[in-house]
Structure 1
Amino acid sequence: MNASSTDRLPVVVIGAGPIGLAAAAHLVERGLEPLVLEAGPAAGSAVREWAHVRLFSTWGELVDPAAEKLLAPTGWARPDAAAYPTGGDWAEHYLQPLADVLGDKVRYGARVTGVARAGRDRVVDADRDEQPFTVHIETSDGREERLTARAVIDASGTWSTPSPLGADGLPALGEKAAAYRVAYRVPDLADPAVRARYAGRRTAVVGSGASAFTALALLADLAADAPGTHAEWVLRRGIGANTFGGGEADQLPARGALGLRARAAVEAGHASAVTGFRTRAVERDGDRLVLVAEDGRRTDPVDEVIVLTGLRPDLSFLSELRLGLDDRLQAPTALAPLIDPNVHSCGTVYPHGVTELSHPEQGVYLVGMKSYGRAPTFLALTGYEQVRSVTAALAGDQEAAERVELTLPETGVCGGAGLFDEQEQSDGGCCATPATPTTLQISTSRGC
């Protein structure tokens, strides 16, 4: 297939979340044809799974400029720029209206199962860059299809692949057998069934990032109504000056407030910390569970376990592409040093775009949370700037693609060398506070 016929093909965008839909909006603005493939039944399907959680970012930081231009003719008005939406608010009042404007450029119930060069597996060099991409999908009714694309923007995120309990990055012994008592998400305690699961019971919360703070704060609130509710907070490291984040010094005030709520939960006795505990196994103790550490220590028996040890990218359907990924973070090679959590916070990430997001395989880009691999503290603003740069490059406007400008808020939560000494610190979000009323009128969870 020659270049001119390839150029007439759509750019496939994987995922109708905030960054994928922003990519589509920028493509439309550039006169390029997007095709957004979303595995779920609606826009922001992953976001809807944490609908009860309030973001750290305000509405003013969550609306992409190109997307707003598409929405404006419909009469859509940006919500109060200073307000903090929940995930549900974000999906209902921004993501779904944006997808509706894009119309048939968004396809639901289309799960991507593979991406490759047409007629070329990853070994073949001959005429490789001249071939379009083939995108294999499975529809919600079980049919298989193969689509053709001029380029692929993977904005599928990391929500579907939470990290396991084991400290070595693999499931702990017995973790799968105990699955009926193990959760990997911040619980929605407004749901009566979920609330009953944790009320009056002891729960191990494993992790030290914002999602863990959220769970601790929620369980502490529950303890006020359900005596006996208690959290065993399991950390792989010790408690230090930075454990609870930046507090009032955090330029994302909602995140700082969340750390203070987690500290209050511990100080009030609703949570007890178990430090330096690297889980090796999960064992049964009657109807309860016990976590066993690498050094042989054992937790007190608990009724439930909430594992919040970070997220990781699903790279399985990209196996026939030639990606350049960092060995540690699984992020694009040129981007990895800029987002290394041992050095950077989300407010100290150097502005980046198509140059840092490119791979040996021309025309394929990982953007949004997926571009960060296993690194934490991704912000929606970062993703919007990424897709602005990538789409400019796809349109042949190299000057605009290389003109990357982005100023992000500094944070005491995730800054400083040595703060992230393990993946459990990451929860892959730019938000976190449960959407239950607080004196600050903000809540606790994850997001962008």
Structure 2
Amino acid sequence: MPELPVVVVGAGPVGLAAAAHLAARDLPVVVLEAGADAGAAVARWNHVRLFSTWSELVDPAAARLLAPTGWRQPAADSYPTGAEWVDRYLRPLAAALAPRVRFGARVVGLARRGRDRVVDGGRDTEPLTVHVRTASGDERITARAVVDASGTWGTPNPLGGDGLPAIGEPEAADRIAYRVPDLADPAERERYARQRIAVAGSGHSALTALVVLAELAEEHPDTRIDWLLRRGAVGTTFGGGDADQLPARGALGQRAMAAAAAGHVRTVTGFRTARVDREDSRLVLESVDGHRLDPVDEVVVLTGFRPDLAWLSEIRLDLDPVLQAPRGLAPLIDPNVHSCGTVYPHGVAELAQPEPGVYLVGMKSYGRAPTFLALTGYEQVRSVAAAIAGDHEAAARVELVLPETGVCGGAGLFDEPADDAGGCCAAPVDSALTRA
């Protein structure tokens, strides 16, 4: 009887790295990706540059797998855009892993074969069943283990200040975007030009949006931006400037500060949206205290992301009640306690779940915590792959030395910095990038 495969959910940077580590250990692996190509989520912000250099964005096992294909690693000290990360690394890696990677395969459920989450018997002996939806119909894949690297991009936080959609938010979806505008796209540029736009959020994605929209306002002076902050003051929103440990991140903050001071941006602090009303063809936002803004034409919501746990409802998870991250990992990443640089590398010990053979990795493992480092994800899957292979010594070993910047990272619009600049990041994620 053939050995059951390990199923990896998601063909993003961490999912493909997991597959590379599993393949290196001669374990059968199937990668299921809902999108049509590798890095489908990254491609959604392809116009944004990362704060990480290439040296921090390529997994070692992946590089070894790619080497025989003639792949050439990009200059270690340069900073790619999302599009470059996909084109020059993720797509070649998926091709090198073929035929292990399946596209257009959305995972809609996970269970223990023949048992719902209530049944105790057989949970350590029966395999897992992965329920998959494809264009040709539904199917089930029997797996020895499942590595969930599906990320959080598909579940952005809503505009509503209490974590739920504001009243009227779903009905106004045609005027609300949950990503940084790509103004290199003529249609998108026309959508925002000469409009009044509300930008909600205080992280790097919000700062990037301020920069690009303020530049649009220079070209079209009748473009206006309302910047909505849930916090009571701007405070340290713009970062450390020249003193920032990540020069590229500091440069973005300085550009955003200049944009906010240039006269096209009106800053509204202490605004937590409760309601969205239509007024003719425009939207009126109302805060929890009843304050109503002047009507706007478009709203850009950049308030973070959260994990999609719906398809995991029939397996047993032990998640932190606040962060929705694995309980063993949550104390290490709690943004109320930790800041950039204080999270150490971790692996299977922190990620293991009560359900045998199930692991949440990558940004999904951070739940609602704010920042994530690609290198951290690569170390996670190295450890998890070793544990699945039965190499518990390697699984317990820490093989990653983090840069001084720790887990603080992200992506933003900036001019590529000088050679001595450092950085880190994964995809645009949560508060260091988007949470208000």
TM-score of the two chains, using structure 2 as the length reference:
0.93
> Matched residues in 1 for 2:398 and 2:417: separation?
38
Secondary structure, counterpart of 2:14 in structure 1: helix
Residues 446 and 371 (structure 1 numbering): CA distance in 2 closer, same or farther, change over 3 Å? closer
Query: What is the CA distance between 1:295 and its match in structure 2?
Result: 0.7
Partner of 1:120: 115
* Alignment of structure 1 residues 146-157 onto 2, 5 Å: 146-157=140-151
> Matched residues in 2 for 1:26 and 1:72: separation?
14
> Matched residues in 2 for 1:409 and 1:200: separation?
43
Partner of 1:290: 284
* Alignment of structure 1 residues 29-428 onto 2, 5 Å: 29-139=24-134, 141-411=135-405
Residue type of the partner of 1:388? R
Secondary structure, counterpart of 2:131 in structure 1: strand
Q: Give deviations 1:15-63, integer Å, cap 9, x for gaps.
A: 0000000000000111211110011111111111111111111111000
C-alpha contact (below 8 Å) 1:162/1:310 kept by paired residues: yes
| Identity percentage of aligned residues | 68
Q: Which moved more, 1:144-153 or 1:393-402?
A: 393-402
> Matched residues in 1 for 2:204 and 2:339: separation?
13
> Matched residues in 2 for 1:397 and 1:93: separation?
32
> Matched residues in 2 for 1:295 and 1:110: separation?
44
C-alpha contact (below 8 Å) 1:291/1:299 kept by paired residues: yes
Residue type of the partner of 1:381? L
Query: What is the CA distance between 1:298 and its match in structure 2?
Result: 1.3
Moved >3 Å (runs of 4+): 405-414, 437-442, 444-448
Structure 1: runs of 5+ lacking an equivalent: 415-429
Query: What is the CA distance between 1:347 and its match in structure 2?
Result: 2.2
Q: Give deviations 1:381-413, integer Å, cap 9, x for gaps.
A: 110010011111111111111112434345599
Query: What is the CA distance between 1:320 and its match in structure 2?
Result: 0.5
Residue type of the partner of 2:211? A
**Is 1:22 matched up with 2:14?**
no
> Matched residues in 2 for 1:349 and 1:152: separation?
25
> Matched residues in 2 for 1:271 and 1:410: separation?
34
Partner of 2:434: none
Structure 2: runs of 5+ lacking an equivalent: 430-436
**Cα RMSD after superposing both structures:** 2.1
> Matched residues in 1 for 2:20 and 2:407: separation?
32
> Matched residues in 1 for 2:378 and 2:171: separation?
40
Residues 225 and 439 (structure 1 numbering): CA distance in 2 closer, same or farther, change over 3 Å? farther
Partner of 2:411: 432
Residue type of the partner of 1:434? L
Query: What is the CA distance between 1:78 and its match in structure 2?
Result: 0.7
Query: What is the CA distance between 1:240 and its match in structure 2?
Result: 4.6
> Matched residues in 2 for 1:447 and 1:170: separation?
21
Query: What is the CA distance between 1:296 and its match in structure 2?
Result: 1.0
Query: What is the CA distance between 1:127 and its match in structure 2?
Result: 1.8
Q: Which moved more, 1:98-107 or 1:345-354?
A: 345-354
Q: Which moved more, 1:282-291 or 1:365-374?
A: 282-291
C-alpha contact (below 8 Å) 2:225/2:264 kept by paired residues: yes
Query: What is the CA distance between 1:303 and its match in structure 2?
Result: 1.0
Residue type of the partner of 1:390? V
> Matched residues in 2 for 1:200 and 1:409: separation?
43
TM-score of the two chains, using structure 1 as the length reference:
0.91
Q: Give deviations 1:89-136, integer Å, cap 9, x for gaps.
A: 111110010010111111111100111111111000112110111001
C-alpha contact (below 8 Å) 1:116/1:133 kept by paired residues: yes
Query: What is the CA distance between 1:299 and its match in structure 2?
Result: 1.4
Residue type of the partner of 2:43? R
C-alpha contact (below 8 Å) 1:208/1:235 kept by paired residues: yes
C-alpha contact (below 8 Å) 1:214/1:445 kept by paired residues: no
Query: What is the CA distance between 1:193 and its match in structure 2?
Result: 0.7
> Matched residues in 1 for 2:178 and 2:208: separation?
13
> Matched residues in 1 for 2:406 and 2:266: separation?
23
> Matched residues in 1 for 2:175 and 2:238: separation?
27
Query: What is the CA distance between 1:329 and its match in structure 2?
Result: 0.6
Query: What is the CA distance between 1:321 and its match in structure 2?
Result: 0.5
Residue type of the partner of 2:173? A
> Matched residues in 2 for 1:302 and 1:237: separation?
21
Residues 191 and 14 (structure 1 numbering): CA distance in 2 closer, same or farther, change over 3 Å? same
> Matched residues in 2 for 1:297 and 1:115: separation?
44
